[in-house]
Amino acid sequence: MNLLKKTMTGLMVGALALSAQAADEVALEGAKVGAWTMDYEAAVKLAGEKEVPLLLNFTGSDWCGWCKLMDKNVFAGEEWKSYAEENVVLVTLDFPNDKSIVPEKYVARNKELQQKFGVRGYPTYVVLDNDGETKLGQLGAGRDKTPSSFIEEFKGVMRMSPGGIEDFIKANPDKAEAYKEAIAELRAAEEKMKEAMKPLNEWLETKPKRTEENTKKFEGFKKEIDAAQQDVAKAEEAVKAFH
C-alpha cells in the first residue's frame, strides 16, 4: 500500500499547482442531480427516486494532482455539467490532508465505502446503479480526458445497468444468451475481486509494522489482487466486444 501511494504521489507532482476546487463546490448536506455532495445517504435516496445512477468520486481534494486535473479538465466543463444535470447523482468521498474539509460524521463512512468498493488509489470513479448498491463499473483519471470523452466512458459503463442490458438483448436477440453469459462471468470476476480485497483490508486494519515478514505478506495479498484484477479486465473486454 505504501509503495502504491509513493507511485501515485510521484505521478501527481506535476499537477499539484492546479486549483483544488476547479469543479463546483461540494454540498455538505442534501443532494441534487448533477451537483456534487458529500451526503451519500441523501444521494442514494435521490438516485432511487429519480431512477438515475450515481458517480462516486473517491478523491484527495487538497493533495491529489490527478484529482485536481480531472476537476479542471472534465468536471468543470459545461458539457459535463449539462449532461450530469439530467443523468447522474454526484457524490464526493474525500480523503484530504486538511481534516477540516470533511465533516467528522462522514470520515468513517467514507473509509467503509472505500473498502466496500475496493478503491486502491485516487481518483477512482465508481458508478452505481440507482439502487445505490449495484456497482456497474469504475473509471479513472487521464491527462487527455475531456468532458466529451468522460461522458462516453460513463455511457459505456451504463450499458452494464439492468436497463442497458435489457435494451441490448431486445435489440440483439440472436446474441442474448452469449451476452448474458458474458455478463455473468464479469459479475463473478468482480465478486472474486471483492473477496481478494477483504483479507488485505482486514490485515491493514491491524496496522502491521514494516518488517520483512509483513512485506512478503503484503506481496502475497497484492499477487492475489492483481490476478483478480486481470480476470475482471478480461471479462470486461469480453462484454465490450458485443458493442
**For the chain, what are the domain ranges?**
2-158, 164-240
Q: Which residue has the cell 484484477?
A: 229
Give the separation between CA 124 and CA 103, rounded to whole angstroms: 21
Query: What is the average pLDDT across 207-234?
Result: 92
Q: Identify the residue with better confidence: 202 or 68.
A: 68
Alpha carbon of residue 109 to chain centroid: 15
Q: Identify the residue with better confidence: 204 or 34.
A: 34
Mean pLDDT over each residue of the chain, to the nearest integer? 88
At 6 the pLDDT is 44
DSSP per residue over the chain, as a string?
-HHHHHHHHHHHGGGTTS-TTSSPPPBSS--BTTBEES-HHHHHHHHHHHT--EEEEEE-TTT-HHHHHHIIIIITSHHHHHHHHHH-EEEEEE--SSGGGS-HHHHHHHHHHHHHTT--SSSEEEEE-TTSS-EEEEE---TT--HHHHHHHHHHHHTTSHHHHHHHHHH-GGGHHHHHHHHHHHHHHHHHHHHHHHHHHHHHHT-----HHHHHHHHHHHHHHHHHHHHHHHHHHHHHTT-
At 168 the pLDDT is 87
pLDDT tops 90 at residue 111: yes
Q: Which residue has the cell 458539457?
A: 79
pLDDT tops 60 at residue 65: yes
Query: What is the average pLDDT across 30-37?
Result: 97
At 71 the pLDDT is 97
pLDDT tops 90 at residue 53: yes
CATH class of the region 2-158: alpha beta
Query: What is the average pLDDT across 182-191?
Result: 90
At 161 the pLDDT is 83
pLDDT tops 60 at residue 14: no
At 24 the pLDDT is 67
pLDDT tops 50 at residue 9: no
pTM for the whole thing?
A: 0.72
